[in-house]
Structure 1
């Protein structure tokens, strides 16, 4: 049984959260708090496995509460977003920066079959994320471990093809990983970057704004029909698969979910496999599940450069771990080294590849 400590905005939202979580017999709400003084004492006594915070608290409350929990009584923290209530988007994004694992979308109700399935998915995510090990002041500890890791590559296979596009997939714990990767990319990064980040509907706009503040490259929402430009980062919008067509233009589709997701990492990776093939660099960052792992193996077989975030710096090593199990990776790296590796790989030119294959061209 997974014990959940809920911090809600009001009695109304608390009742809705309670109704959604009641779908699972494996979850137990040990206490519902309205963020009153002394809630940390209640949390410590509750022996909860995970904390769920109502995003509709708004302003800086979500961020503040997350920071207090991570500094005083570290537990896995998840933000619960009610459908149609996005007034706390920016605060929720900052809560992710402070240590929250992800934002989960609550269904409007649990009466319809689709809503019941969505509620079951929320419950499943809470159960799985309750097992994530967190530490006091986790963020500084994480970056200390990254710094110590240096540029150690656990597993390396040489990539010789000229890279024309970078694709990145991330899920729970991926927002901070994206920030670290993008922060290490130079302003003259020579190829476009397409990104699928699993996040609750209505939150990707806030994520785009936040990432734009963190790195030297422009970060925008992807739009159908445009040709991805070098040095620009394109994030998949809500409820659309991000793909590329044969003309190398971005194509957004609303086809059925893949692996339970739309946008799905799998759809992005499979489309670049068909269009760019070996001239792709694909990255899987922290996340739960296996979305994109099999498609990374297809890219690997095609000769693409494939990179997985290592276990030590992943909040959740599900997706990159699945890719590693499939022997789909040429590099397994600490998150802070991934951007540096991408910068090196994208500087390889066709002439470099020819010299590697035939030897020096001098005196010919």
Structure 2
């Protein structure tokens, strides 16, 4: 095997699906299947022996399913996991989020018919996803829920970032809006933030998230059940109000007009992300100025970095998720390079920080 090839372990209980997947992946000179298993229990042994760059696993299997395998791997020997299953379609929102919460890096729906021809049609997308995931940093996850704790009194981040208490006390303009940007891997991070905010949180929260087509409505319904805040897709002509979380719609950028009402903007040819985090952040900065706050969570690429910079340069508050979360660090890394992030915080510290910041004014 060439040193540049991405090593993959396949965990799949269907002999036919396993054979097809193995043939598809091995057809790429950049991917090598170094081991296979019929269930999660066998998978753990194969993973230990082969030390793959990426694990591809089915969901429903006897003797240990894909969810339990994901939990075990992320607790003991963390590495990127791609769940390939019939049960991670756009309608399987709850299943998808349980997998992401357990630590899966992403999900990939199997072809509905399971024929070799249908698998061949998804080959390029599957190989591209595996190549991306092979570069994602992941960290161990405890299988027990951690209690909510506030940031340490004298918490200091590295480099140019100042003590939390010092920066908060120096703020002179009350924050009027919170904006959050994240990639697909930020689903669970957004949930962790929103679920720790009180139902009477006195500001609107506006979010842009990179998600697959057809997923957004399920995401909104799921978050509505998980947190005490109202969660919805922003509507054209609607004004953001306190205690409500608004998400940018699919296939449209979300902006504010001169009257603080939401408006949609269609993407232009060549744009990589629509909706775009940077477009949203820049619109927030333009309308709210120093009263705006932007939060950029980890993810691949650079979307959001220039937008966070716009908020920082106009005098608003900017926060970025630190690298310890284990997700892809590309977007935050770009923001740091632009000196756009005033605070670098662990995901569990962001909600308490926001509450303290808002209530201190």
- Give your verdict on TM over 0.5: yes
Q: Give the corresponding residue for 2:99.
A: 95
Answer yes or no: is the 8 Å Cα contact 2:178–2:292 preserved in 1: yes
Separation in 1 of the partners of 2:107 and 2:84? 6
Deviation of 1:333 after TM superposition, in Å, equals 1.8
Are residue 47 (structure 1) and residue 51 (structure 2) matched?
Answer: yes
The change in CA–CA distance for 1:194 and 1:33 in structure 2 (over 3 A counts) is farther
Within 5 Å, give how 1:149-164 maps onto structure 2: 150=152, 152-154=155-157, 155-156=161-162, 157=167, 158-164=170-176
The change in CA–CA distance for 1:311 and 1:140 in structure 2 (over 3 A counts) is farther
Q: Give the SS at the match of 1:308.
A: strand
Unaligned runs of 5+ in 2: 112-117
Q: Choose the corresponding residue for 1:252, options 252, 264, 269.
A: 264
Are residue 122 (structure 1) and residue 122 (structure 2) matched?
Answer: no
Separation in 2 of the partners of 1:63 and 1:47? 19
Alpha-carbon RMSD across the aligned residues, in angstroms, is: 3.6
Separation in 2 of the partners of 1:256 and 1:7? 40
Answer yes or no: is the 8 Å Cα contact 1:23–1:120 preserved in 2: no
Deviation of 1:301 after TM superposition, in Å, equals 0.8
Q: Give the SS at the match of 1:276.
A: helix
Q: Give the corresponding residue for 2:295.
A: 283
Under a length normalisation based on structure 1, what TM-score does the superposition of the two structures give? 0.78
Separation in 1 of the partners of 2:343 and 2:50? 42
Q: Choose the corresponding residue for 1:3, options 1, 7, 15.
A: 7
Q: Choose the corresponding residue for 1:342, options 323, 333, 354.
A: 354
Within 5 Å, give how 1:4-153 maps onto structure 2: 4-8=8-12, 10=14, 21=25, 25-33=29-37, 35=39, 38-54=42-58, 61-71=65-75, 73-80=77-84, 85-103=89-107, 121-129=128-136, 132-135=137-140, 137-138=141-142, 150=152, 152-153=155-156
| Higher RCO (C-alpha 8 Å, min separation 6) | 1
Deviation of 1:281 after TM superposition, in Å, equals 0.4
Q: Give the corresponding residue for 1:241.
A: 253
Q: Choose the corresponding residue for 1:310, options 322, 333, 337.
A: 322
Separation in 1 of the partners of 2:172 and 2:259? 24
Answer yes or no: is the 8 Å Cα contact 1:313–1:334 preserved in 2: yes
Unaligned runs of 5+ in 1: 350-364
Deviation of 1:73 after TM superposition, in Å, equals 4.4
Deviation per CA, 1:163-198: give whole Å up to 9, x if none. Answer: 221110112542222222112212111111111222
Answer yes or no: is the 8 Å Cα contact 1:105–1:201 preserved in 2: no
Deviation per CA, 1:114-149: give whole Å up to 9, x if none. Answer: x898556524422222xx1433x44659x59x9596
